[in-house]
Structure 1
Amino acid sequence: MPFKTKRSTDFRFGFCSHHNLLPLKPPATPFLLPPRQRSMASSVFSIFFFAFFLLISVASSKLLLFPLTHYLSNSQFNTNQTHHLLKSTTARSAARFLRHHNRQVSVALSPGSDYTMSFSLGSAPKKTTVTLYMDTGSDTVWLPCKPFTCIMCEGKSDPKTTPPPYNISTSAAPVTCQSRSCSAVHSGLPTSDLCAAARCPLESIEMSECNKFSCPAFYYAYGDGSFVARIYTDTLEIPMSAATSLVIQNFTFGCAHESLGEPIGVAGFGRGALSLPAQLADFSPHLGTQFSYCLVSHSFDTDRVRQPSPLILGRVDSGLGVNKAKRVRASRLDDFAYTPMLENSKHPYYYYVGLEAITVGNRRLPAPENMKKVDGKGNGGMVVDSGTTYSMLPEILYNSVVSQFGKWMKSGLGYKRARGVEDRTGLSPCFYVDGHQPGPGTKRKEAVLVPQMVLHFGGNSSVVMPTKNYFYEFIDGGDGKGKVKRKVGCMTLMNGGYFPDSGGPAGLLGNYQQQGLEVIYDLLKKRVGFARRKCASLWDTLR
């Protein structure tokens, strides 16, 4: 029987096994099964019952596993490009944070998010694989569509690896101005206003008979980019194995013909009704109530950056489905450090948490009050953002961390400040670390000693960060001829500045600080969890 979604559109779903679609249709229409399964049934009723049971059991037990691919995985870079890479990522992180505060950004924006995912849109023979950035800082799914114009995109993408703009298939249908999806993408505007903008006659608006009028184009800004798009529905197909795919009809997405600074689309994982998890929840609630990702620790290393990072949807217990014993050992849900999500009625789409303090070495540095909570105007708190590279801290907390970190590095460990490197990379503080000798019991590969850093979140939750998450080591070749190459290390937390009157979050937790951690978003219990993982091993275990 047809299902109704929150967007008041018919929503049929099914599984594609060996490319044979099993859609859930009205009772009068039987399921179409592969021949070998059809021979097992003696009646239309038994076929329907078996298929319905199969669909429900699979939908309630299967998880969805996506490989997240770092945008640098198809690039060749060396030590001579390190300064440019760091400079571009710091500029982009700052740009995204400023956009959260509704401030104008004049810098040239670097590549969009950091991690991409792929799935298929459309029906055969027009089915097309699309590659989008995965971004928890966005609450909608959009992609470039032909004809497509990208402003300020020079040098941001490689034509050899960037997917071409999507060609709207014959199966795609524009969303009407009366749809709840149209209202959702226009920030809750009444459908009567939207239908008026779509030039639906007044009499038809009064009678709610504007089904022939499409939803007006919408403008969307998210962190470090923006676009203008119209929304469509089409068939979404997500591979679950070599022979089975999850197929969802009437999947809603934005089709952009013009964007600013973003040549690749975005799969939004924010808290909006049109995000990818929210739409999957319409198919099966467990797919949208929890999702997690585990970003492989890479430190911009060419080989490690090419390893896939697992994105997991549909985690309902520690067993994760089949082969339970093996997977429980690999990824338990009870070893996460959970912190509550903070509600923000002004900006409800982001994942806000409260940061209480940061420990550097043996000293606990309290966070300002606006990092711990969100006020009535929607200001404050810390956004967990997969689309920002480096974490942003308010100026007062950042200065405290830098001061304490510097004392350990200079006075306690004898490292010298590398201020020239700071100017070339945008990171600070940086230190020359090539002269350090490992102490007794210290492995040579761990010779560079830095103070431990711990994040203390609300709900009595603490996360010990891996050293590589906040201290990046590389070879500096100097900025001129004949310069001696030296090993340096830089702290990868950034100064978010001081904007008491501009609104927005007080800080951001970027993906670089999330490496080597499985980060779980529990939407049912409204909490975010962190657990140390070997992410590459987790991927091998789950796939």
Structure 2
Amino acid sequence: MAFPSSLTLCMFFFFAIFHFCNSLSTSQDYLKLPLLHKNSFSSPAQLLSSDSHRLSVLFSALHGGHRRSVKSPLISGASTGSGQYFVSLRIGSPPQSLLLVADTGSDLVWVKCSACRNCSDYRPGSAFLTRHSSTFSPHHCYDPACRLVPSLKPSFPCNHTVLHSPCRYEYSYADGSTTSGFFSKETATLTTSSGKEAKLRDLAFGCGFRVSGPSVTGASFNGAQGVMGLGRGSISFASQLGHRFGNKFSYCLLDYTISPPPTSYLTIGSGDQNGAVSKSSGMNYTPLLTNPLSPSFYYIGIKSVSVNGAKLPINPSVWSIDELGNGGTVIDSGTTLSFLAEPAYRHVLAAFRQKLKLPIVAMKPKLSFDLCVNVSGVRRPMLPKLSFRLEGKSVLSPPPRNYFLEVADRVMCLAMQPVKTGSGFSVIGNLMQQGFLLDFDKDRSRLGFSRRGCASP
């Protein structure tokens, strides 16, 4: 998912009316939502296709102009080849559970609603049944909230004299995918870290009556009933809950290759992945940068890259954001592989080729991996060690399994791809993020990361 190219947000503070029905026990409560893996990737080719599609949507969106806590499980979309993570959200009265794509690259929370005209999946639980909820209501088209999403073209003009004139939205993605329907409000039922049930009234979300395009109907969306936008905009799930939970969220993605797969978690608030309040010990921080042309994305600044401790001769300008909004590096939960600006990628690729002592394997062209090695008979393959020196004097040093992917029996490939200079930004995907606790602190505009914050499976 990516932020729609045409969206210009008006920053209203109507979210101040959001509140919880029942009180939370302590100031250290937080929300914890599980992120669960289904299976390993179905095929490298499908993974590359899905990532390439998402990347084009993210890049196109760039030029379009746009104290307590809660914890919830994330379910990986790896079985579809997409590498996306899903999260279960309970909305409505009584609550209905829906599976949403957890996406740091977009803002809108939306679900397929029962009136969806072209949704192919009509199994029980495949859509939100508005008629079964006593608390569902669309925003009026004259509500300030309605200005936070792009509206349908003037074929549905707003009539302020009509009591029930709903806010009609149309959220478009750069590949032509859309979701449209009523921008609405509903009660969300959440469970805090202390085990108490809390109800968030007036969660703003899109009730989708029509969805179209590969981003929202293709293989990468299999099993999902909508999207939980976690971006930096005011309508994202993280922002709507942020006022109650310290305006921060975190997640820890555990190794998808383990069977059965362990449960990863999305935490809204100040809790760590083990249920305690997060401490700064062991946490490294780097500033979250802002790109005015793409305000929803979480940018970080890379200063240099090293392989086996040797700094690569990459021009620092490769990592900067230019006056057109190109460049920079985005942390994205919805992309699996990592993508580097081509000049940087070529240096990394050359350094890896030089350092590798394992037999290089030629893969089929359709797989598009530039470097693969045969690790047969090697219990612990010696793979080059990659590290990123970031703004704020922090260093991100992921283990080799975060950037070498086993694409066939005993064949491992470099899970990185090049991005043409000037065509967009570099992306740190969710594979590179595995095993790190990532803490998105929006108030302090910083990203924290630590290998010590993830619970062992």
Whether TM exceeds 0.5 here: the answer is yes
Q: Secondary structure at the match of 1:397?
A: helix
Matched residue type, 1:431: V
Determine the structure 1 residue equivalent to 2:57.
Answer: 99
Paired with 1:279 and 1:532, the residues of 2 have a C-alpha distance of 28
Change (3 A) 1:399 1:119: same
Q: Deviations over 1:223-253 (max 9, x none)?
A: 8954333211111111236962120111111
1:260 is matched with which residue: 213, 217, 240?
213
Determine the structure 1 residue equivalent to 2:370.
Answer: 428
Determine the structure 1 residue equivalent to 2:128.
Answer: 166
Q: Secondary structure at the match of 2:343?
A: helix
Q: Are the aligned partners of 2:305 and 2:311 in contact in 1 as well (CA < 8 Å)? A: yes
Q: Are the aligned partners of 2:25 and 2:194 in contact in 1 as well (CA < 8 Å)? A: no
Shift of 1:349: 0.6
Q: Are the aligned partners of 1:219 and 1:229 in contact in 2 as well (CA < 8 Å)? A: no
Change (3 A) 1:470 1:178: same
Paired with 2:176 and 2:387, the residues of 1 have a C-alpha distance of 28
2:33 is matched with which residue: 61, 66, 74?
66
Paired with 2:284 and 2:324, the residues of 1 have a C-alpha distance of 29
1:246 is matched with which residue: 189, 198, 212?
198
- 1:273 and 2:273 equivalent? no
Q: Are the aligned partners of 1:371 and 1:507 in contact in 2 as well (CA < 8 Å)? A: no
Paired with 2:324 and 2:291, the residues of 1 have a C-alpha distance of 9
Q: Deviations over 1:10-59 (max 9, x none)?
A: 835335xxxxxx3xxxxxxxxxxxxxxxxxxxxxxxxxxxxxxxx2653x
Q: Deviations over 1:435-459 (max 9, x none)?
A: 55xxxxxxxx42x101111012122
Change (3 A) 1:218 1:338: same
- 1:294 and 2:252 equivalent? yes
Change (3 A) 1:334 1:493: same
Change (3 A) 1:200 1:319: closer
Q: Are the aligned partners of 1:120 and 1:236 in contact in 2 as well (CA < 8 Å)? A: yes
Change (3 A) 1:424 1:121: same
Paired with 1:224 and 1:11, the residues of 2 have a C-alpha distance of 34
Q: Are the aligned partners of 2:24 and 2:196 in contact in 1 as well (CA < 8 Å)? A: no
Change (3 A) 1:319 1:391: closer
Matched residue type, 1:235: T
Matched residue type, 1:297: D
Q: Deviations over 1:463-484 (max 9, x none)?
A: 11111101123643xxxxxxxx
Q: What is the TM-score with the length of structure 1 in the denominator? A: 0.70
Aligned residue pairs, count: 418
Shift of 1:530: 1.4
Change (3 A) 1:391 1:243: closer
Paired with 2:443 and 2:291, the residues of 1 have a C-alpha distance of 16
- 1:488 and 2:408 equivalent? no
- 1:114 and 2:91 equivalent? no
Paired with 2:331 and 2:411, the residues of 1 have a C-alpha distance of 28
Matched residue type, 1:164: S
Shift of 1:197: 5.9
Matched residue type, 1:185: V
Q: Deviations over 1:294-320 (max 9, x none)?
A: 11123x3442xx21102222117x899
Change (3 A) 1:366 1:387: farther
Q: Are the aligned partners of 1:10 and 1:250 in contact in 2 as well (CA < 8 Å)? A: no
Determine the structure 1 residue equivalent to 2:420.
Answer: 497
Matched residue type, 1:309: S
1:364 is matched with which residue: 311, 314, 319?
311
- 1:177 and 2:141 equivalent? yes
Change (3 A) 1:405 1:320: closer
Q: Are the aligned partners of 1:177 and 1:195 in contact in 2 as well (CA < 8 Å)? A: no
Q: What is the TM-score with the length of structure 2 in the denominator? A: 0.82
Structure 2 portions without partners, runs of 5+: 1-10, 62-79, 218-223
- 1:141 and 2:103 equivalent? no
Q: Secondary structure at the match of 1:258?
A: strand
Paired with 1:238 and 1:143, the residues of 2 have a C-alpha distance of 17
2:437 is matched with which residue: 496, 518, 529?
518
Shift of 1:291: 1.1
Paired with 1:68 and 1:222, the residues of 2 have a C-alpha distance of 27
Shift of 1:516: 0.6
Q: Secondary structure at the match of 2:51?
A: helix
Determine the structure 2 residue equivalent to 1:45.
Answer: none
Determine the structure 1 residue equivalent to 2:326.
Answer: 379
Paired with 1:181 and 1:250, the residues of 2 have a C-alpha distance of 11
Determine the structure 2 residue equivalent to 1:19.
Answer: none
Change (3 A) 1:243 1:359: closer
Q: Are the aligned partners of 2:313 and 2:347 in contact in 1 as well (CA < 8 Å)? A: no
Determine the structure 2 residue equivalent to 1:40.
Answer: none
Determine the structure 2 residue equivalent to 1:404.
Answer: 351
Structure 1 portions without partners, runs of 5+: 16-21, 23-54, 104-109, 322-326, 437-444, 477-486
Determine the structure 1 residue equivalent to 2:338.
Answer: 391
Larger radius of gyration: 1
Question: What aligned pairs does 1:24-63 form with structure 2 within 5 A after superposition?
Answer: 55=23, 58=26, 60-63=27-30
Matched residue type, 1:492: A
Q: Deviations over 1:109-147 (max 9, x none)?
A: x665621111211112xx211111111011111111224
Determine the structure 2 residue equivalent to 1:334.
Answer: 281
Q: Deviations over 1:68-110 (max 9, x none)?
A: 112xx1x4x6xxxx7x52111122112111112229xxxxxx6
- Bigger CA drift: 368-377 or 258-267? 368-377
Shift of 1:220: 2.7
Q: Secondary structure at the match of 2:198?
A: strand
Determine the structure 2 residue equivalent to 1:214.
Answer: 166
Q: Secondary structure at the match of 1:164?
A: coil
Paired with 2:174 and 2:197, the residues of 1 have a C-alpha distance of 30
